[in-house]
Amino acid sequence: MKEKKKESPFALLWSWAKEYHGGFYGSILLAVLGVAGSMTAYFSVAAMIRILLTGGGFQESINWCLLMLVGYVVKSLCSAASTAMSHRATFHTLKDLRKMLLEKLSRVPMGTIMDTPSGQYKTTIVDCVEGMEPTLAHLIPEMTSNMLVPIFIAVYIFCIDWRMGLASLVTTIIGLIAASQSAKNYSVKWDGAVAVGRKMANAIVEYIGGIQIVKAFSQSAGSYGRYADAVEENASYYKNWMQENQKFMCVIQTVTPSVLLAVLPVGLILWSQGSLSAADFTTVIVLSLGFTGPFLAAMSFVDELAIVGTNVGEIAGILNANELKRPEEQVIIKDQTIQMNQVSFTYGNQEEKVLFDVSLDIKPKTVTALVGPSGSGKSTIAKLIAGFWDVSSGSISLGGINIQKIPLDQLNQQIAYVSQDNYLFDRTVRDNIRMGRLDASDQEVEAVAKAAGCDAFIRALDQGYETICGSGGGHLSGGEKQRISIARAMLKNAPIVILDEATASVDPENEAVIQKAILALTKGKTLIVIAHHLSTVVDADCIVVVSKGKIVAQGTQKELLENCPLYARMWQAHIGTKDVM
Ligand code: ADP
């Protein structure tokens, strides 16, 4: 099969902006007219000096003055219109791009999203997309026009006298060499800058998220190592890079505009030898002065050129991420039997398998507890059943249908995944519970809150159900947040509940209330518990012992205590900790 040719960053960016190409072409045309208008001043001055030196008429000079005036007006109007047009097209493109990114996130595996630090998505969706603004709104029209005009003037000077043409290019060529040296490592350096920026964004997001703990342990920002180091690394990266780049920038900024350094001596020699007229000499002087302004303006976009690749790469990384391929058409799921058939699994970013030929039957309306040492693969099994990732080999079916043949939203309706991360949105308590089912009435919301044991404490809050939870649910205790998220899951009323039990121990009083809430949530449902404590598994219909990615035994508490030494050891250890507590 022929390998697909990798698209250049510009081609990709241009394809994302395809709906607005008309706007960009219009802005380029207007920008060219604008720069041409500004150049009429140099042509007019050159023409007038020529007239003065050759004894031309007053009226002719006035005409050049008028042309200069027209040039200024054209320049002002056209550049303003070009900027407005390119910005309109750019902001529409950026809006579409952000929409595309968010739509894409809804289709990539849930597991990929959970594995990616949220700071990384923020950097790409906010910063990298914003980073396209100078490229689209300025680079496209302004670089094009600023390059075209000096080329035109250079050709004109060559037509007057080719030797002067060469002389006028000397400092520009030196500038170009410096610019190419500066640009040589630019994209690599910029990649590095994005990496340190991302590290800093992740550290900041983590720091803000954990600020409670940082404060509780009286840690200042400076002593929160990862955050402080990331900020330091970011600052020194830029400092070193800019220092390295400074020498090239000095040459570009100082040598390039000094065109007269070559034009004057060469012109003087040619004039003194009689091979260059005074009129041509002065024309070339004036035109060459007008040459470098647009050229330097075009050079200022070299940075942008290098940045484009990185920003486009980051955005394309999300847009091209693997999607879970699922049909759109709803299927008929006859019951909630879950079957794992020789499932093996390797995480995308890893080489080693974490599950080996796991086969498991879960009957409807039963309680199945997954137990085993930490890292044995319990959560992975549960997340695969919830459809967060596709299995590497084998299959998982629900009601006899491979879950890969079930539309994502239908599978979602079947399964409520209650994790330890009880995230609450910065909205009212009522809205947070209603996330479980958006069309639920107020009465239904309050009924599940009662069942989950949260009605009383919600009513005791300042504004009752209308109290704002605070970002991440910060205004509520851990136990309260957990009960609200259980109420949310109850409202969803999915026939299968997967419960990732909290690893952190909750106080006994809270634990009893939460257990009651869980019982209410799971009544008459198929329940899969990832049990980090064994106290909750005693009554399970089936306890599945997972070790090193394999199922080593399954049965009831009694059966396992008799037949599974690993489980017996775990149970002894559990009893031991209970005794200590
Ligand atoms: P358990 O729930 O039994 O503690 P997990 O299913 O979380 O175990 O983890 C099983 C193995 O998979 C561990 O070695 C863990 O490090 C690895 N693992 C878990 N999640 C990921 C992930 N998102 N990416 C890569 N490896 C992972």
Ligand 1 pocket, 10 CB below 6 A? no
CA contacts within 13 A on the Cβ side of 362:
29
Q: How far apart are CA 540 and CA 543, in angstroms?
A: 6
Q: Whose CA is nearest to atom 12 of ligand 1?
A: 354
* Gap from CA of 480 to ligand 1 centroid (Å): 28
Q: What's the gap in Å between 176 CA and the centre of ligand 1?
A: 53
Provide φ and ψ at 356, rounded to 5°.
Answer: -125, 110
| Strand 338-346, strand 367-371: pairing | unpaired
Query: What local confidence, expressed as pLDDT, does residue 170 receive?
Result: 92
Atom of ligand 1 nearest to the CA of 376: 3
Determine which helix (DSSP H) or strand (DSSP E) holds 270, and give its type and residue range: helix 260-272
356 lines ligand 1 (CB under 6 A): no
Q: Dmax of the chain from CA atoms?
A: 118
Instruction: Return the pLDDT at 580.
Output: 43
Mutation test residue for ligand 1: of 354, 544, 545, the one with most atoms within 8 Å of CB: 354
372 lines ligand 1 (CB under 6 A): yes
Q: What is the pLDDT of residue 20?
A: 95
| Ligand 1 contact, 129 CB (< 6 A) | no
Strand partners, 551: 546
Is 354 near ligand 1, meaning CB less than 6 Å away?
yes
Q: Residue 140 in contact with residue 24, Cβ under 8 Å?
A: yes
Ligand 1 closest atom vs CA 382: 6
**Residue 494 DSSP code:** -
The candidate with the shortest Cα–Cα distance to 339, out of 496, 484, 220, is 496
Which residues of the chain register pLDDT less than 50? 1-4, 579-581
| One-letter amino acid for residue 549 of the chain | G
Q: Does 308 contact ligand 1 (Cβ within 6 A)?
A: no
Do 531 and 501 meet the contact criterion of CB atoms below 8 Å apart? Answer: yes
For the stretch 42-92, pLDDT in tens is 888 888 888 887 777 788 889 999 999 999 999 999 999 999 999 999 999
Ligand 1 atom 25 nearest Cα: 347
CA 377 to ligand 1 center in whole angstroms: 6
Going through 138-218 in order, the beta strands assigned E by DSSP cover none
> In which element (H, E) is residue 342 found?
strand 338-346
Q: Which two tokens mark 379? A: 């959560």
Q: Supply the DSSP symbol for 428.
A: B
| Ligand 1 atom with the shortest distance to the CA of 114 | 23
Q: Is the CB of 503 under 6 A from ligand 1?
A: no
Distance 12 CA to ligand 1 centre (A): 36
Q: Which of 370, 374, 380 to mutate to test the pocket of ligand 1 (most atoms within 8 A of CB)?
A: 380
Residue nearest to atom 24 of ligand 1 (CA): 347
User: Is residue 507 within 6 Å of ligand 1 at its C-beta?
Assistant: no
Mutate to test the pocket of ligand 1, among 108, 347, 417, 552 (most ligand atoms within 8 A of CB): 347
Contact 487, 448 (CB under 8 A): yes
Q: What is the pLDDT of residue 489?
A: 87
Q: List the one residue out of 49, 31, 40 whose CA is nearest residue 71.
A: 40
146 Cβ inside 6 Å of ligand 1: no
Residue ID of nearest Cα to ligand 1 atom 10:
377
Nearest to 364 by CA among 388, 336, 389, 323: 336
For residue 516, the one-letter residue type is K
